[in-house]
Amino acid sequence: MKWWVNSTEGHRTTLLNSTYKDVGFGLRKGTFLGHRGAQVWTGHFGYRKC
């Protein structure tokens, strides 16, 4: 989370955007690109149209 908040790629803007009402986070631990013990996080943001 700290990396996302300090990111220069717009992640902070997305996290603080009040348009999004639904959010989900995922974590996968394992080997990633040859790095054992890696943690890969994802975040999905959305809202429902009525």
CB-based contact 23:45 (threshold 8 Å): yes
pLDDT at 50: 74
CB-based contact 44:23 (threshold 8 Å): yes
pLDDT at 3: 78
For 10-46, write each residue's pLDDT tens digit: 888 888 888 999 999 999 999 999 999 999 989 899 9
Residue 3 corresponds to which tokens in the numbers above?
Answer: 């990396």
pLDDT at 2: 81
Tell me which residue of 43, 49, 47 sits closest to 15, measured CA to CA.
43
pLDDT at 5: 83
Q: Is the pTM of this model over 0.85?
A: no
Q: What is the DSSP letter of 3?
A: H
Radius of gyration of the chain (CA): 14
Give the start-end residues of each E strand in the chain.
22-32, 35-46
